[in-house]
Amino acid sequence: LTMKPGEAIRVGNVIVRRTRRGIDALRLSETRAQHLACRDMLTGLFNRRALLDHLHACLATEGRQHLLYMDLDGFKDTNDVYGHGAGDELLREVTRRLNRACPGADMVARVGGDEFAVLLHGAEEGPTELAQSILAQFEAPFIVGGYRVALGISIGIASSATGDSAEELLRRADVAMFAAKAGGKNCARAYDPALDAGREMRKRMEQDLRQAIERREIGIVFQPIVDAGRQRIVCVEALARWSHPDHGAVPPQTFISIAEESGLIVALGRDVLAQACEQARDWTVDLAVNLSPAQFWDRGLCHTIREVLEATGFPAHRLELEITEGYLLRRPDAAGAILDQLRATGIRIVLDDFGTGFASIGYLQRLPFDRIKIDRSFIKDIDEDSGASELARAIVAIGDALRLPVTAEGVETPRQAMVMRQAGCTRLQGWLFGRPMDA
């Protein structure tokens, strides 16, 4: 092969250029690989590995590290109801809001499905303020697939002392986050060594509850509901009771929420329904049973109820299911279809704790309820405060406008009973007429 000098230089240039391009490409893919290894694909945030590496490095330097560990409230529900596409969309919007709330943060990471972390380096009093601005970002509802979704965030805060390991700091922030969840959700809690004991206890409670359900140790009591006119018992509400071998009676709010978080609620709910139907079968009054969100969205719900009715011989037309408004409105169309299916069997549906959720009246109108039950909080202050009576009357008027009969719950005094009867309630429930009692 012969080449003129000019040509040789040209070919040489091409080779050099090609090689350089090759090296550049190699470098690029190396950075991309590094980038991918420490990033979460969906949100582009740093991942758990990157957070731990960075935390290790920071803890080796001077100054305090503050770690905020966060878990979304209500994300699992949304994912179940709207599907994973909507869930992904939601996580990306959460990421945008976190970035907006934390411009000065050292690192924002997604550490698990719906868990996030923010690392704040050095600042003395920054973490609480940062938590507040994150919470503020969650005040506005999220819009997914055209629906408004209310989402909260529970935040745990841990600050480093000398000698702390990254893993220990992460654990403490996680424990604090759990305390924020247990303390009502959508709030922030700072780590405190006393919380460790609480966390252990809750884990043990979950195991004990699982065992109690398996051994059929969850009991039920019945509270009478009377008609407002003659004040005779027309219905009873079944309420679950659990007596723990060491701790005694556990409040239903506590064990129901443990059951909901751990998925035990489906088995527990079925057991309560079966016991209630068995014990109340030969009475002449109606029977009301509470239903949790996780049970409501469970695909097997209708089937389970039919099975229980068949096995116990309890007539469907005497059964009422009490459900609360919050979760129905997240997806009114799907909720409506489930309610129709339940009502087709002859069961009636009662909207429980009315007035406490963020219900939009317009949506409620679209859902087929048979009755609403006004929350106790509206009845409680009737004796002291005339404004409270007005409010209670206004709530009953909403029920009338929806053409639904109204029950008042938590009636403790004759005056409360009178005000609610005059307001138009057709049924009353409360200690004035009877406490929850065994069959």
- List of residues contacting Mg ion (CB under 5 A): 290, 322, 352-353
* Position among 213, 240, 351, 392 found at the interface with ligand C2E (CB under 6 A): 240
Q: Cβ 374 to Mg ion, closest distance in Å?
A: 9
Interface with ligand C2E, residue 236, by CB under 6 A:
no
Residues paired with residue 153 on neighbouring β-strands, in sequence order: 72
b/e sequence 191-208, b meaning 16+ C-beta within 10 Å: beeebeeebeebeebbeb
Q: What is the largest CA-CA distance in the chain?
A: 116
* Position among 78, 154, 290, 407 found at the interface with ligand C2E (CB under 6 A): 290
Q: Cβ 290 to ligand C2E, closest distance in Å?
A: 4
Q: Cβ 243 to ligand C2E, closest distance in Å?
A: 13
Task: Report the alpha-carbon distance of residue 88 to residue 259 in Å, rounded.
Answer: 26
Nearer to Mg ion, 87 or 357 (CB): 357
Q: Cβ 311 to ligand C2E, closest distance in Å?
A: 18
Residues paired with residue 112 on neighbouring β-strands, in sequence order: 115
Q: What is the dihedral of CA 243, 297, 398, 370, to 10 degrees?
A: -90
Nearer to Mg ion, 239 or 267 (CB): 239
Quick note: the x/- pattern for ligand C2E over 300-329, rule CB under 6 A, is ----------------------x-------
| 412 interacts with, out of ligand C2E, Mg ion, none, CB within 5 to 8 A per kind | ligand C2E
Q: How far, CA to CA in Å, does 197 sit from each of 108, 175, 193, 203, 348? A: 29, 10, 8, 10, 43
Determine contact, residues 285/233, Cβ cutoff 8 Å: yes
Interface with ligand C2E, residue 126, by CB under 6 A:
no
- Only one of the segments 51-59, 115-123, 147-155, 425-433 lies at the binding site for ligand C2E (rule: CB under 6 A); that segment is 425-433
Using CB under 6 A as the binding rule, the residues of this chain from 215 to 234 that contact ligand C2E are: 223
Using CB under 6 A as the binding rule, the residues of this chain from 256 to 275 that contact ligand C2E are: 256, 269, 272
CA angle at 59 for the pair 58 and 64, rounded to the nearest 5°:
90
Nearer to Mg ion, 223 or 279 (CB): 223
Q: Cβ 237 to Mg ion, closest distance in Å?
A: 6
339: nearest Cα among 371, 376, 374, 375: 371
- Only one of the segments 110-118, 251-259, 311-319, 384-392 lies at the binding site for ligand C2E (rule: CB under 6 A); that segment is 251-259
* Position among 164, 326, 436, 439 found at the interface with ligand C2E (CB under 6 A): 436
Q: Cβ 221 to ligand C2E, closest distance in Å?
A: 7
* Total residues in contact with ligand C2E, by rule CB under 6 A: 23
Decide the pairing of beta strands 406-408 and 371-374: parallel
Nearer to ligand C2E, 39 or 202 (CB): 202
235: nearest Cα among 371, 367, 392: 371
- Only one of the segments 22-30, 331-339, 340-348, 409-417 lies at the binding site for ligand C2E (rule: CB under 6 A); that segment is 409-417
| 159 interacts with, out of ligand C2E, Mg ion, none, CB within 5 to 8 A per kind | none
* Position among 2, 253, 284, 386 found at the interface with ligand C2E (CB under 6 A): 253
Q: Cβ 364 to ligand C2E, closest distance in Å?
A: 18
Tally Cβ neighbours within 10 Å of residue 44.
12
Residue position matching structure tokens 């690392």: 119
Nearer to ligand C2E, 110 or 241 (CB): 241
Q: Cβ 252 to ligand C2E, closest distance in Å?
A: 4
Nearer to ligand C2E, 318 or 373 (CB): 373
Nearer to ligand C2E, 73 or 322 (CB): 322
| 240 interacts with, out of ligand C2E, Mg ion, none, CB within 5 to 8 A per kind | ligand C2E
Q: What is the dihedral of CA 302, 305, 311, 314, to 10 degrees?
A: -120
Task: Report the alpha-carbon distance of residue 398 to residue 373 in Å, rounded.
Answer: 12
Question: Where on the chain is the footprint of ligand C2E (CB under 6 A)?
Answer: 223, 239-240, 252-253, 256, 269, 272, 290-292, 322, 352-353, 376, 409-412, 429-431, 436
